[in-house]
Structure 1
Amino acid sequence: MYTHSKETQSKLTPDLALEILKEGNERFVNNLKANRNLLQQVNETQSGQFPFATILSCMDSRTSAELIFDQGLGDIFSIRVAGNVLNEDILGSMEYGTEVVGTKIVLVLGHTKCGAIGGACNNVELGNLTGLLKKIQPAIDRETSTTENRTASNSEFVNNVTELNVHHTIERIRTESPVIAKLEKEGKIKIAGGVYDVETGLVTFFKD
């Protein structure tokens, strides 16, 4: 597997970038790996990087984007924070990845059995974590199909909030970053969402 160069990165379309992620996850689920020499990639990226994707995912130890999408050094910008929530620093990082470096896709990736989502559903308060979990509250408020047991013990409720949290984050990216919104409008990037299943390793991508 080659290391992305400026030329190969520039030739990628947003749709092709999404397909690369889908194919990588398929390899991961089937316990296959692309043939790549990581030490060689260290040498090939020492003077520059040309990643094709910017991925916002949770800090959960089971959700390493490089692994679940079978990518190598220099392939993706991986932004990780509990609950895959959004803030100004993360938006700035995304703008750097897309506008400055040239990634073709911004993927917001939630995952099943997320501790942050569960904590938010249970109204957990703990130091600075309290403010982080509050960022998930809009997704909880939008989950109106569950009328009873709206807590982390209700897996269906948590799954619904997980998906809604990804959608909410995507909406915020488009609203709060004119830079990224412009790139998407011009067709230079794609913004996508999905949920990783910690039991199967499969990523379910949302339809546009």
Structure 2
Amino acid sequence: MRTHTKETQANLTPEMALQILKEGNARFAQNVNMNRDLLQQLSETSEGQFPFAVILSCIDSRTSAELIFDQGLGDLFSIRIAGNIADEDILGSMEFACKVAGAKIIVVLGHTGCGAIKSACDNIQFGNFTALVKKLRIAVARVRDPATNRNSQNSEFVENVARENVFETITHIKHKSEVLRGMLENFQIAIVGGMYDTQTGLVDFYQ
């Protein structure tokens, strides 16, 4: 499997990019990953890169985007931060990835059993982590169900908050980035959400 070139990237639509990710995730979940010569891809990307997608995911060790979507060197821009939130620097990175480098889709990827989300549910505070939890607490406040046992011991509540946080991050991206919003309105890119199941390996996309 060869890496993407300027031509193959340019010929992709956002819908095609999403389909590539869906097919790659299906291969990963079935343990039938595509055969790749990573050293060849290293050589092919030594003078430039043409990734087709941006994946904003959590720092969780189980959520490596290249593995989850069965992609190789030069295929993805991978942005990782606890709780898959988007601050100013991440927005700038996304703008570069899409406006300058030609990526066709942004995926905000949450995951089940997220430690950062659990910390936000319990309002854990220490050091610089306090500021990150504050951002995640927006999603906590917006989840109405369940009304009781609203803490990390309630798995239903945790997963509802994780899902709401994906939507909140997408809304934040659209609201805070005029560049990405304009590209989205002109159908140059897509912005979608997804939830990675750490038990099955499957991603449930939100469109």
For normalisation by structure 1, the TM-score amounts to 0.99
2:11 aligned residue = 11
* Residue 181 of structure 1: aligned partner: 181
Deviations 1:81-119 (A, max 9, x none): 000011000000000000000000000000000000000
| 1:162 aligned partner | 162
Between the aligned partners of 1:53 and 1:134, the Cα distance in structure 2 is 28
Alignment of 1:3-152 (within 5 A): 3-152=3-152
RMSD: 0.5
Give CA deviations for 1:112-150 in whole Å, capped at 9, x if unaligned: 000000000001001000101111111111101211110
Question: For structure 2, which runs of at least 5 residues remain unmatched after alignment?
Answer: none
Secondary structure of the structure 1 residue equivalent to 2:25? helix
* Partner Cα distance (1:132, 1:189) in 2: 28
Code of the aligned partner of 1:200? T
Gaps of 5+ in 1: none
How far apart are 1:73 and its partner, in Å?
A: 0.1
What are the Cα deviations for residues 8-65 of structure 1, in whole angstroms up to 9, with x where unaligned?
0000000000000000000000001112100000000000000000010000000000
Give TM-score, length-normalised by structure 2: 0.99
Please tell me the residue identity of whatever aligns with 2:67: L
> What SS does structure 2 have at the residue aligned with 1:119?
helix
Aligned partners of 2:16 and 2:109: how far apart in 1?
18
**Counterpart residue identity of residue 6, structure 1:** K
Corresponding letter in the other structure for 1:168: E
Give % identity.
58
In the alignment of these two chains, the number of paired residues is: 207
Output the CA distance in 2 between the equivalents of 1:114 and 1:79. Answer: 16
DSSP-derived class of the 2:109 partner? strand
Distance 1:141 1:34 in 2: 42
CA shift digits 1:66-90 (9 cap, x unpaired): 0000000000000000000110000
CA contact (8 A) 2:195 2:203 kept: yes
Contact persistence 2:55–2:108 (CA under 8 A): yes
Deviations 1:161-196 (Å, cap 9, x if unpaired)? 000000000000000000000000000000000000
